[in-house]
């Protein structure tokens, strides 16, 4: 592996990192320049195969656990020590961009490349992780497999999850060939760092490059079914209708009002299905999702009570029934102060002023934080836009984030 050298002058290869980002965007690339790489699809298998091949070419060994989480390991001076880890996810939204999630994986790859090229041997093993199904766009809820790792979900309940087409998670995992033998959650971790685009506008607006993420806001997801009665659109008078879609529209508007009343909360309906979905039939049933978020768990609970009360009142007034099922509850997370300080110190050493920030979106790091010291690094994205094919970052910011990740990893290697 070469002679051990000082880590203080190590830097990642920004050109190679950018080339990796562009190359992996081919797996599920869309005509609009984005990426559609849903979890456990053929495109997911392709990018995983690329990941394994690339990590092995850097001298790493790659293992896979029972949930398909991948671990690329670079040996340390003392391989009996638990690894210092970094990572994120390779899956995307249906209309995703080139950088969400994968920047953290490829930034970690850039760290491994920098260590190898410098001949630098760390005390701990260093591992790069790809977590399965962070997005939750095909199988819900999100972050399921880091959730199994952290003991939030059982392995069996995740394996039995089904997508909207009725396909089972466990069967899809087997089909792409990435169900490993190691029981999920038994893999040791000394510390974990995750590089990610901000997915919001703060860093760009303040003309800053690095966010030292202090935690993640609380969030809850729900599935809502509104049941009315199908009827002929031409012969059913307005006062006699039981219109599920009309009631749902009022509910969606009410959710937005609840979120505004609890600022800086957010409330979103991102998926809706209408039945029978015919132009001359009064809709008899709708299904939609609700996503609410706020940095304080008490406010999230208050929002839940408020929107449920509003929904039931709207249902009664419209002559329909409403069923609300909470499917995910992720309390607010506070990252390890020592790891956050390592990120901030690494940023300053690299010449950047770190900005303390709380993440609006959820990340695998939020679950890993329950079982290991954890922190995150944010870099800006253009206009704060993410979960969109037009998602964009600069090569300079990608390189800066990866260098801060490298600095944090070296600090953790010395501290733990």
Domain ranges of the chain: 14-217+332-415, 218-330
Question: 177: closest CA among 53, 46, 292?
Answer: 46
CATH of domain 218-330: 3.30.70.360
Q: What is the pTM of this model?
A: 0.85
Is the per-residue pLDDT at 5 higher than 50? Answer: no
Binding-site sequence positions for Zn(2+): 89, 100, 135, 196, 387
Q: How confident is the model at residue 4 (pLDDT cuts 50, 70, 90)?
A: very low
What is the mean pLDDT of the segment spanning 362-377? Answer: 96
The per-residue pLDDT for 203 is 97
**How many alpha carbons fall within 13 Å on the CB side of residue 129?**
31
Is the per-residue pLDDT at 7 higher than 60? Answer: no
**How many alpha carbons fall within 13 Å on the CB side of residue 386?**
20
Q: How confident is the model at residue 3 (pLDDT cuts 50, 70, 90)?
A: very low
What is the residue-averaged pLDDT of the chain? 96
Q: How confident is the model at residue 8 (pLDDT cuts 50, 70, 90)?
A: low
Binding-site sequence positions: 89, 100, 135, 196, 387
DSSP code of 371?
Answer: T
For residue 223, what are the CA distances in angstroms to 15, 60, 82, 318? 44, 42, 40, 19
Q: How confident is the model at residue 6 (pLDDT cuts 50, 70, 90)?
A: very low
Tokens 């299905």, residue located = 273
**How many alpha carbons fall within 13 Å on the CB side of residue 57?**
9
Predicted confidence (pLDDT) per residue in 370-406, tens digit: 999 999 999 999 999 999 999 999 999 999 999 999 9
What is the mean pLDDT of the segment spanning 23-48? Answer: 97
Which region holds residue 265: left if phi is over 0, alpha if psi is between -120 and 50, else beta? beta
Q: Which CATH class is domain 14-217+332-415?
A: alpha beta
DSSP code of 200?
Answer: S
Q: Under a CB-based contact definition with an 8 Å cutoff, are residues 332 and 295 in contact?
A: yes
Strand extents, DSSP E, 115-175:
126-130
Q: How confident is the model at residue 9 (pLDDT cuts 50, 70, 90)?
A: confident
């Amino acid at each position: 592996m070469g002679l051990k050298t000082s880590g203080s002058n190590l830097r990642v290869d920004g050109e190679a990192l950018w080339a990796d980002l562009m190359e992996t965007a081919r797996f599920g690339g869309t005509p609009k320049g984005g990426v559609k790489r849903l979890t456990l699809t053929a495109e997911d298998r392709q990018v995983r195969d690329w990941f394994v091949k690339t990590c092995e070419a850097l001298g790493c060994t790659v293992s896979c656990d029972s949930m398909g989480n991948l671990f690329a390991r670079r040996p340390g001076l003392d391989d009996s020590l638990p690894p210092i880890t970094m990572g994120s996810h390779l899956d995307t939204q249906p209309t995703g961009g080139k950088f969400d999630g994968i920047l953290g994986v490829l930034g970690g790859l850039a760290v491994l490349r920098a260590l190898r090229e410098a001949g630098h041997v760390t005390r701990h093993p260093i591992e790069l992780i790809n977590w399965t199904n962070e997005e939750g766009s095909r199988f819900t809820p999100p972050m399921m497999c880091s959730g199994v790792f952290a003991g939030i979900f059982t392995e069996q309940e995740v394996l039995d999850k089904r997508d909207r087409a009725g396909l089972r998670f466990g069967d899809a995992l087997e089909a792409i060939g990435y169900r490993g033998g190691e029981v999920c959650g038994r893999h040791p971790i000394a510390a974990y760092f995750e590089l990610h685009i901000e997915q919001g506008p703060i860093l760009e607006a303040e003309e800053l490059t690095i966010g030292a993420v202090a935690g993640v806001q609380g969030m809850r997801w729900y599935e809502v079914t509104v049941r009315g009665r199908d009827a002929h659109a031409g012969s059913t008078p307005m006062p006699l209708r039981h219109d599920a879609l009309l009631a749902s529209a009022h509910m969606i508007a009410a959710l937005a009002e609840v979120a505004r009343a609890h600022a800086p909360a957010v409330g979103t309906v991102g998926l809706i299905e209408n039945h029978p979905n015919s132009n001359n039939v009064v809709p008899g049933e709708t299904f939609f999702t609700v996503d609410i978020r706020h940095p304080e768990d008490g406010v999230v609970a208050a929002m839940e009570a408020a929107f449920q009360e509003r929904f039931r009142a709207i249902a009664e007034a419209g002559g329909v029934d409403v069923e609300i099922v909470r499917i995910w509850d992720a309390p607010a997370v506070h990252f390890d102060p020592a790891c956050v300080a390592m990120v901030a110190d690494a940023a300053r050493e690299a010449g950047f002023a770190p900005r303390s920030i709380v993440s609006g979106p959820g990340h695998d790091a939020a679950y890993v934080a329950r079982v290991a010291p954890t922190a995150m690094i944010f870099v800006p994205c253009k206009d704060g836009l993410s979960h969109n094919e037009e998602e964009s970052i600069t090569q300079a910011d990608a390189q800066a984030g990866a260098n801060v990740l490298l600095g944090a990893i070296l600090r953790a290697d010395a501290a733990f």
